[in-house]
A and B are shown apart, each in its own frame.
Chain A
Amino acid sequence: MSAPTREPLTGTLIFERGAPESRCVESPALDVPDVSLSDVLSGRQRTEPPVLPHVTEVEIARHYERLASANFGVDSGFYPLGSCTMKYNPKIDEWACRLPGFAGLHPYQPPATVQGALELMWELQEALAEIAGLPAVTLQPAAGAHGELTGLLAIRAYHTANGDPRARVLVPDSAHGTNPATVAMCGYEVVQVPSDERGGVDVAALNTLLDTDVAAIMLTNPNTLGLFDENILEITAAVHAVGALAYCDGANLNAILGKSRPGDMGFDALHINLHKTFATPHGGGGPGSGPVAVSDALAPYLPGPVVARAADGVFSLVTPERSIGRVRSFVGNFGVLVRAYAYIRAVGGSGLTEVAEQAVLSANYLKELLRDVWPLPYDRVCKHEFVLSGGRMRKQTGVRTLDVAKRLLDYGIHPPTIYFPLIVEEALMIEPTETESKETLDRFAGVLRTIAAEAAEDAGLLQGAPYSTPVRRLDEAAAVKRPDLAWVPPEGAPG
């Protein structure tokens, strides 16, 4: 007798479900005179209908429930993805953004009819300015990289307005890939700055690279090694001494909330990832939100509109006088702003400081539990995350960091960020966040130690992992060699 089998969770497309007569939501009955589409559209009407699914609601519900079952989110389990701050996303925030007075707003409604929304945005601008230590904030950018583009274009406009256009932007070798990509989009040349043996910016090297043709430096602090740059004041002073500005990639802001502010470190601009530090969900890739906070000198260049509050307490949308222009339509990812505002009010000022303290304590705790198994290339107190090297394991056992990551999946844990930053061999970048219990951290450390033991005994076990996931390792080379990026109906299928 053959064993009972389950239908795989994934693989069958929504197009392959249902039947030609299946319907879910039908268009409303027409209560005005019908029109001849060919007449009113002057012959530009569609003649062949688009090939969309034919399904009933129950089929949709089951289809996506199966897909969801094949996914892993923060609610599924531990997600120590370095540099991504996969903290818990509070449910009250999801409720809040769906309130009709938020979700049902049109961006061109008269300002008098959106005072609640504008007040929320203004309060959020003020809160982010206080957290950043920088006075002016735009909420318009849709993501961190979009914030980088905004900040760097503002810096460019500032130099241009001063009659001092510059050609280069400095980026450390430990930077996120978005930093050099943004620099290129802004028409600047990227110059890489090496890291020193303590994991910070090599100040001597920096000084040789700084001159009056440098427009800015883009730094992440704490950096992608999870290390606070101890020379940060010296670095920003040296940058300012040649007339350049300092841009902070705020991806790692969670580590320093209420402890240290980028503005006080000498940064002129900062983007903030609301989808990291302020607990808004990542959505399987987005939407995020990347507000930018800047100094007084850069404030006139921010994209408009920003929210202003008049003396009588009335809120309005205004465009800064020398604005670089919009970076997108409308006011920003408002639904994400609502969630972030709700989070900030929930935890409050004291709670944000506690967030940073616990995130840092949890990271240092995990680092202590793991450092004897994986070498720690930079051995000092870390902030919200730390980076281990799988180089020794690879040499001794042939097991790569990728294999360790895949094996973690069999234990029901999402792997850390791997192979980043690029300056650490076989890197494992671990960020526990403050929302994980000690029990979870202890179990994770125990699992990693078990995996290290497995690697020593049976490298093949790890190299074949995972075994228990909805699918196993996928053929990425074939995906490129024979691109299949969209479903097309089989020949002769019923239309």
Chain B
Amino acid sequence: MRFIPVTCEEQAEMLRVVGADTVDDLFVDVPAAARLGRPLALPDPLGEVELAAHLEDLASADSHAGSVVSLLGGGCYDHYVPAIVDAVVSKPAFFTAYTPYQPEVSQGTLQAVYEYQSMICALTGMDVANASMYDGASAFAEAALMAARVTRRHQVVVSAAVHPEWRETLATYVGAGVLDILTCPMSDGVTDAAALRDLVDDRTAAVLAASPTFYGALDDLEALAGIAHDAGALLVAGTNPILLGVLEPPAAYGADIVVGEGQPLGNPQSFGGPGLGIFACRQEHLRQMPGRVAGRTTDVDGRTGFVLTFSTREQHIRREKATSNICSNHALNALAAGVYLSAVGREGLAGIGRACVAKAHYLESRLVETGRFERVFSAPFAHEFALRYTGDVAVMQARLLERGFFAGLDLGRFRAEDVGRVLFAVTEKRTRAQLDRFVAEVNAL
């Protein structure tokens, strides 16, 4: 395929205007030793028909949420995506636009961002939200850096119950020595509050935790916030936004910065990306927030309009003094989240949350009844839970995959202490019939 509309005749005319004999004359500034001097060793072009067939071949080599019943979670979930979501994000005027630096011709993007920010504030209870980050993990790391700027302290305490990939991302981001990380042990699938009390002091910039935790358990964020605030530190709270129709908003627990992975809100799983990073904070900390933010204002004729604002925090203005190096964000995924939240509305979000919770609790009880799984934690959970399998996890998962199930996430791959434990996630898409069939297959193991 070829996406160049200029004809050969026009190329010749353009070369004449430029005063070049051949197009290679336009590369005279490239030193000979830096020229490739051979064709790229890449396959020949494909026509659209052949390309489509090739891509379908690749995709059909995969099993996916449409062909296998998925009980996988751990930060990426098989929720229903309403048809209207893709209808909106497929509009070329949205997906082929650049960052809205020219607001007069970007009101669509800007208003959608403002509405998205408003919805995230409504869900989390926070004052301001940015236009999105890359994902939950990078938002989590950026929140630690922001807390250090706010408090002018250089140490954070992170809960061991937080997603291991979030913690690893945090460690990478601060790996240059810009922050010290202490890890607070966990107990019963949540942060060990007593241990946290001993780790937090007047050097602590933030306590970083999440509820639900990686293990699906609900952490006592209110207690953690108290410990952080008593020491003059901030609480960074990770959340799962799709549960905020049924779970108390993080602001109610005293969270200072709220982050989360926004994929569950209308974005396909897509092998883990792109989702979006949710980032919200208090008004008083706005000037330390990373990322773009849209604001409402008026134009010269008094009409309501929207602009990117508080840009003096950002790299294109402040360069090395910026709050972050982030430039591109996940605007289209934030658009999807906004359309999703509009489509389900407040009752739909609560209903979806209730369905996830009820189905997860149903499956958990049924699995424990089989005698092949045992409870490991007593902390409350929402739509995701960890159980210990009495046999070999890999064998069990392979057998159940043959029967058409992704039988949860083997937690042993993340932490030695978790060998034998399996994390199950249940979304509103799972039917009782699917769950009952799964339990029957477990019984037949």
In the complex formed, the residue of B with least CB distance to A141 is B134
A109 contacts which of B40, B72, B321, B359 (Cβ < 8 Å)? B72
Residue of B nearest to A146 (CB): B134
Docked Cα-Cα span, A31 to B354, in Å, equals 12
- Contact A101-B59, Cβ < 8 Å, known A31-B432, A349-B41, A369-B17: yes
State whether A342 touches B55 (Cβ < 8 A). yes
Find chain A residues with CB under 8 A from B121 CB: 486
Instruction: Assess the A480–B329 pair: CB atoms within 8 A.
Output: no
B62–A264 touching, CB < 8 Å: no
Given contacts A87-B3, A350-B44, contact A100 B36 (CB under 8 A): no
Produce 1/0 per residue, B7-45, CB < 8 A to A: 100110111011110010111111101111001111111
A354 CB-CB contact with B under 8 Å? yes
- Min CB–CB distance A266 → chain B (angstroms): 8
Pick the interface stretch among B63-71, B202-210, B228-236, B369-377.
Answer: B63-71
Which residue of B45, B286, B433 contacts A348 across the interface (Cβ within 8 Å)?
A: B45
Cα(A193)–Cα(B274), bound, Å: 36
Chain B contributes a number of interface residues (CB within 8 A of A) equal to: 209
User: Could you say which residues of chain B place their CB within 8 Å of the CB of A324?
Assistant: 172, 175
**Residues A108 and B84 in contact, CB atoms below 8 Å apart:** no
Partner pick for A35 among B178, B339, B357, CB 8 A cutoff: B357
Distance between B386 CB and nearest chain A CB, rounded to angstroms:
14
Residue A471 is within 8 A (CB to CB) of chain B in the complex:
yes
* Structural contact, B331 and A286, CB atoms closer than 8 A: yes
Does B106 sit within 8 A of A, measured CB to CB?
yes
Report Cα–Cα, A484/B36, bound state, in Å. 53
Which residues of chain A come closer than 8 Å to B27, judged between CB atoms? 228, 259-260, 360
B105 contacts the other chain (Cβ, under 8 Å)? yes
Q: Residues of A contacting B82 with CB < 8 Å? A: 24-25
Per-residue CB contact flags for chain A residues 454-477 toward chain B (1 = under 8 Å, else 0) read 000000000010100111111110
In the complex, the chain B residue whose C-beta lies closest to that of A105 is B271
Q: Does B216 contact A (CB under 8 A)?
A: no
Of all chain A residues, which has the CB nearest B109? A284
| A479 surroundings in chain B (CB, below 8 A) | 295-297, 307, 309
Closest to B310 in A: A480
Task: Give complex CA distance A180, B325 in Å.
Answer: 8
Q: Which residues of B contact A110 (CB under 8 A)?
A: 397-398, 401, 406
Q: Which of B13, B76, B97 meets A71, CB within 8 Å?
A: B97
CA distance A484 to B333 in the complex (A): 22
A71 and B4 within 8 A (CB): no
State the Cβ distance, A226 to closest chain B Cβ, in Å: 11
Report yes or no: B58 in contact with A116, Cβ–Cβ below 8 A.
yes
SS of A interface (majority): loop
A137 at the interface (CB under 8 A from B): no
Chain A contacts with B in 137-168, Cβ cutoff 8 A: 142-146, 148-149, 153, 156-157
Q: Which residues of A contact B338 (CB under 8 A)?
A: 14
A181 and B41: CB pair below 8 A?
A: no
CA distance A74 to B20 in the complex (A): 29
Q: How far is the CA of A405 from the CA of B317 in the complex (A)?
A: 19
The answer to the question of A245 belonging to the interface, with a C-beta cut-off of 8 Å to chain B, is no
B138 in contact with A146 (CB, 8 Å): yes
B94–A51 contact, CB under 8 A? no
User: 11 additional contacts, CB 8 Å, given A23-B345, A67-B109, A470-B104?
Assistant: A45-B247, A64-B108, A106-B78, A131-B42, A142-B134, A184-B321, A330-B75, A365-B17, A472-B300, A472-B301, A483-B295
A493 within 8 A of B: no
B60 partner residues in chain A, CB cutoff 8 A: 101, 116
B59 touches A116 (CB 8 A): yes
A232 at the interface (CB under 8 A from B): yes
- Asked whether any CB of chain B lies closer than 8 Å to the CB of A309, the reply is no
Residue A364 is within 8 A (CB to CB) of chain B in the complex: yes
Smallest CB-CB separation from B304: which chain A residue? A11
CA distance A332 to B273 in the complex (A): 6
CB within 8 A of B358: which of A26, A32, A180, A436? A32
7 A-B pairs with C-beta separation under 8 A: A13-B111, A74-B96, A115-B61, A146-B138, A184-B325, A326-B168, A345-B46
